[in-house]
Amino acid sequence: MTEPALRFTGALSQLSPSARRALFDRSTSANVAVRVDTARVIEEVRTGGDEALRALASKFDGVRLDELEVPRARWQAALDATPAPLRRALERARDNIASVHRAFLPQAAETSPEDGIVVGRRPDPLDRVGVYAPGGRASYPSSVLMGAVPARVAGVREVVVCSPPSGTGAPSPIVLAAAAIAEADRVFAIGGAGAIAAMAFGTESVPRVDRIVGPGNAYVAEAKLQLAGAVAIDAPAGPSELLVIADASSDARVIARELVAQAEHDPLACCVVVVIGEELEVGIVEAIASAAATQPRREIIAEALRNAGGVLSARDEDEALAFACDYAPEHLLLLTGDADRLRSRVRNAGTIFVGASSSVAFGDYMTGANHVLPTGGLARSYSGLSVLDFVRWTTWQRVTPDAAARLAADVAVFAMSEGLAGHASAASAWGTR
């Protein structure tokens, strides 16, 4: 059996500076062509509206779109035609997502730092959000559920879904069925950077939204970055990532299955194993080769492993965790004898899977946790999608006359130190009452 070509192998301590940079630099924005092409598409949609979107669909999707919006009757027809086992799975995922996200709904709160001063903060649902569901190599009804269901839980008034058209002129039937199950309000057959621009600016048909969420390819991720000044986004999201930390207690076949499952997403997927103990590397590489050989998408898997795959060894737990902290993966799978203890030491990860039976596949579809997660090392500063992405916070404050009198002198001094005499006068007026 031919072993897979892995880009990164050997001991972590022996990685060259260039190899280490390559491991950590996973941003698709490094591609100048992607940046330039995306900027051009954004400008075309900004100035051309629906006409530009139709031209883009013809160019990139090979379809002529008479209407950009998909009628609700077509969603319902897709849902009615969905095989019963798949519909049950979609509904179960929806219910679990709703349950988990409902448990984490933010709550209004108020506090009183001094007598007579009350400061409050409340979460207000956004008015309209856009959910992007990728197309291309595969259809992703799960992305519809992961975006639309938390928005509904948060109380968003209108949920708009955009997904690339198939040869029929509409998104795949399973995406339409998911939109119906998630109780979206509108669906548009538009994809790529053009869809992001349409939701950011609005067109004759596509409404302007308050926030755009959902994963996508490099062009979608770049469009979100370029438009972040015009519309709120969840987080920059690129190709799928998995980091596995394993030790001698782990099963090489489990590791291989998980790596293959993430690598099949995209040739740019990043899948790395850090094993504590050098003697385990060979068995893991062999298991990956065996698992990949039987997969229908084995060519994509092989390309992903060549591009950014790795099996690396760490001297000890501390070195493995230090690497994980720097790598900041989208998915972190802990396959060690004391995975629960290790979990408490992890700081930077989109989501952590604890133990061999906690397959990333379960989190992708059914546990109720959100699979829209930061990639490219941005788990250092971004969180996964949640109900917090679908609210904005309104702060209010009340000061009684007595408290105003007590505050007046200090506020006036503070204001004058900044050269703001008007502020000082406004405060001082209450001190003379």
Percent of the chain with pLDDT over 70: 98
Handedness of CA 44, 190, 383, 247 (dihedral sign): negative
State pTM to two decimals: 0.93
Q: What are 433's two structure tokens?
A: 């009452």
Break the chain into its structural domains and give their ranges. Answer: 8-26+239-368, 30-237, 400-431
Architecture of the domain spanning 30-237 = 3-Layer(aba) Sandwich (3.40)
Helices 218-226 and 192-201 cross at an angle (nearest 10°) of 20
For residue 1, pLDDT beyond 60? no
pLDDT at 26: 84
pLDDT at 167: 86
| Residue scoring higher pLDDT (235 or 248) | 248
For residue 238, pLDDT beyond 90? no
Q: Mean pLDDT, to the nearest integer, of 378-389? A: 95
> DSSP class of residue 130?
E
Q: What are 359's two structure tokens?
A: 């397959």
8-26+239-368 and 30-237 have identical folds: yes
| Complete edge-to-edge strand list for the sheet that includes strand 232-233 | 186-188, 158-162, 128-132, 211-213, 232-233
Other beta carbons within 10 Å of 295:
15
Q: How far apart are CA 354 and CA 362, in angstroms?
A: 12
- Quick: pLDDT tens for 324-352: 999 999 999 999 999 999 999 999 999 99
Pairing verdict, β 158-162 and 186-188: parallel
pLDDT at 204: 97
- pLDDT class for 3, splitting at 50, 70, 90? low
Main-chain dihedrals φ then ψ at residue 387, nearest 5 degrees: -60, -20
pLDDT at 277: 85
pLDDT at 272: 97
Please provide the average confidence, as pLDDT, over all residues in the chain: 94
Q: How far apart are CA 325 and CA 392, in angstroms?
A: 30
- Quick: pLDDT tens for 270-300: 999 999 987 788 889 999 999 999 999 999 9
Q: Kindly give, in sequence order, each residue whose CB lies less than 8 Å from that of residue 79, ignoring residues fewer than 6 positions away.
A: 87, 176, 177, 180, 181
Q: How far apart are CA 104 and CA 100, in angstroms?
A: 7
How does DSSP assign 288-347, residue by residue?
HHHHHHT-TTHHHHHHHHHHH-EEEEESSHHHHHHHHHHH--SEEEEESTTHHHHHTT--
Other beta carbons within 10 Å of 95:
13
Q: Mean pLDDT, to the nearest integer, of 197-209? A: 98
pLDDT at 29: 65
pLDDT at 200: 98
pLDDT at 28: 65
Do the Cβ atoms of 208 and 202 come closer than 8 Å? yes
For residue 30, pLDDT beyond 80? no
Q: Mean pLDDT, to the nearest integer, of 194-201? A: 98
Residue 204 CB-half CA count within 13 A? 10
Q: What are 16's two structure tokens?
A: 């060259």
| Residue scoring higher pLDDT (110 or 168) | 110
Q: Which residues are catalytic?
A: 330-331
pLDDT at 236: 77
Percent of the chain with pLDDT over 90: 88
For residue 379, pLDDT beyond 80? yes
Do the Cβ atoms of 241 and 275 come closer than 8 Å? no
- Does residue 362 sit in helix, strand or coil? helix
For 8-26+239-368, CATH number? 3.40.50.1980
For residue 314, pLDDT beyond 80? yes
- pLDDT class for 201, splitting at 50, 70, 90? very high
What is the rounded (10 degree) CA torsion for 285, 287, 289, 291? -150
pLDDT at 432: 73
- Quick: pLDDT tens for 100-147: 999 999 999 999 999 999 999 999 999 999 999 998 667 889 999 999
Q: Mean pLDDT, to the nearest integer, of 62-90? A: 96
> DSSP class of residue 29?
G
Other beta carbons within 10 Å of 30:
10
Q: How far apart are CA 377 and CA 20, in angstroms?
A: 13
What is the rounded (10 degree) CA torsion for 424, 426, 430, 432? 60
Do the Cβ atoms of 133 and 144 come closer than 8 Å? yes
Q: Kindly give, in sequence order, each residue whose CB lies less than 8 Å from that of residue 93, ignoring residues fewer than 6 positions away.
A: 142, 145, 365, 366, 368
For residue 218, pLDDT beyond 90? no
Other beta carbons within 10 Å of 202:
15
Q: How far apart are CA 181 and CA 316, in angstroms?
A: 47
Burial (CB < 10 A; 0-12, 13-18, 19+), residue 324, is: buried
